[in-house]
Homo-oligomer: A and B are copies of this chain.
């Protein structure tokens, strides 16, 4: 069975030494009192919950999966899930980053995110139950009426009730403009909702006494397309005025999907068979209301893949030190043993270091984004809030797509380190790969993320946000002038940033002639963008580490080694990606016979 040690040392490095998160939080009145020791104490406890409570259920949950009773529409989660959820509530974990007005602890998103990395390392399928609840919480918090908030938010905050987001229908996922679910107004101000949803994660389960569905549907007079979609809250049990549970609503799980992975999470087909719902926000503005939680949700998917990368790395590293097989090409390294541990082999090291570097890069980038989210939610200065919001909007598709693509590569490498044993369920490695695969798809496929990055976030404001990012890179490079240790990082970093900028300019110019150019280049462009951002953070991490090498803490040596590896062995991918991004449209579009 896989083991897991929460990476608290690296989290502290990122939060305190690299990002100075406590310093930044001081500028936010809501979080000005929190210090690094408090943050780390929460994360330490959270790590224990992850490794002690959730990790032991990961493989068994995968084997067992969820079951649906067709007669009652009840879903049973794998053995132990319910008990773990009870402990989650009792520990107050559901309330961590929630609004104190509804019983929340009001901690920064940053802390919640570090917690979620660890939950996902331990058990992505389980973590999706509370994880998706947060989306419903945010929608209601931002757009609910005072009465709706009072009805739902305290119970969601405590974890007694969970939530879902009901978007997808059989014929539409990416293209929500096509959705058909209907909402007819009733005399009492509620709506009667009819339609079919699919792929509803955590859509039905036995962990909590009530499930609050946020459902997209069309009003009778709604215009076609995305401008005619409204958002409704549709509780499984309709709460009575006193907060107790009333009537069972006609929102029913009619089937569970059999999936490649995340077997412990119930992916539901949901029938709304005249269910009662209440409008959230304005009519026909449902997509906008839903999108308030999209940055957080997409960063959340990045955290799922970060979690899987970290746990896969830890287990592959342990195996590589333990497994004896063949001798090093330069002669025995462990002559006293029957063979050398496979960690002596350069390619095994390369696979391990790839996973380590992708985990560390992902941790920095996503923590940085969480800090930006906290800033735009809570900074007193509107200008600062806006800047933070724009920056996180640019970085969010990178967190979602780059980290999840990397996790697919990294978890597969970690499986490979195990040889044939990696393919066997018992070792747990193949589950990490299967679980990681969904993260490239949901909350907007990685192609959609790439289009969002290039088309909307970069070209959409003529590169203005990107330019600010470039200025940060240059400022950092200038700050390193004269530091010979940093030269091997700064030169390729500046080259990467220049390539990113040049590519942006080239594609922008081409796209004015033919917008399809954006679609043709977007996925390659995403790799260039992601690697440049990672390179920036690895260089900054190396700088911090160099400055603390004297401490004698080997942690800093490891940090520099990983950064060196990253620049030597992973960053060069941008060369090929730039070449293929520049190959243009014809090789893709003038292929009507090859794709006949």
User: What is the interface of chain A, defined by CB distance below 8 A to chain B?
Assistant: 168, 171-175, 177-178, 198-199, 257-261, 317, 320, 324-326, 328-330, 338-339, 343, 345-350, 352-353, 356, 408, 412, 415-416, 419-420, 422-426, 430, 433-434, 437-438, 440-442, 445-447, 450-451, 455, 514-516, 518-520, 522-523, 554-555, 557-559, 561-562, 564-565, 567-570, 572-577, 579-580, 583-596
Contact = CB atoms under 8 A, between A and B. Distances in A.
A569 B591 contact: no
Contact of A441 (B419, B442, B565, B583): B419
Contacts of A171: 324
Contact of A589 (B258, B349, B594): B349
Contacts of A438: 423
Nearest to A570: B580
A568 B580 contact: yes
Contacts of A415: 437
Interface centre among A320, A339, A555 (most CB of B within 10 A): A339
7 contacts: A199-B420, A329-B518, A330-B516, A408-B412, A416-B445, A433-B437, A567-B587
Contact of A330 (B173, B515, B587): B515
Contacts of A451: 347
Contacts of A177: 339
Contacts of A260: 423-425, 430, 433-434
Copies of this protein, total: 2
A178 B324 CA distance: 9
Contacts of A585: 346
A146 B438 CA distance: 55
B558 A594 contact: yes
Given A198-B420, A416-B441, 19 more contacts: A260-B424, A261-B423, A320-B595, A329-B519, A345-B447, A346-B516, A346-B519, A347-B447, A353-B591, A416-B447, A423-B437, A430-B437, A434-B434, A559-B594, A561-B594, A565-B588, A568-B584, A572-B580, A576-B577
Given A260-B425, A346-B585, A595 B352 contact: yes
B420 A442 contact: yes
Nearest to A415: B437
B519 A345 contact: yes
A361 to B, nearest CB: 13
A161 to B, nearest CB: 26
Given A173-B325, A259-B424, A347-B520, A576 B580 contact: no
A588 B199 contact: no
A297 to B, nearest CB: 15
Given A171-B324, A441-B416, A347 B522 contact: yes
A425 B350 contact: no
Contacts of A565: 587-588, 591, 594
A514 B423 contact: no
Given A260-B423, A523-B347, A565-B587, A594 B353 contact: yes
A564 B455 CA distance: 26
Nearest to A172: B325
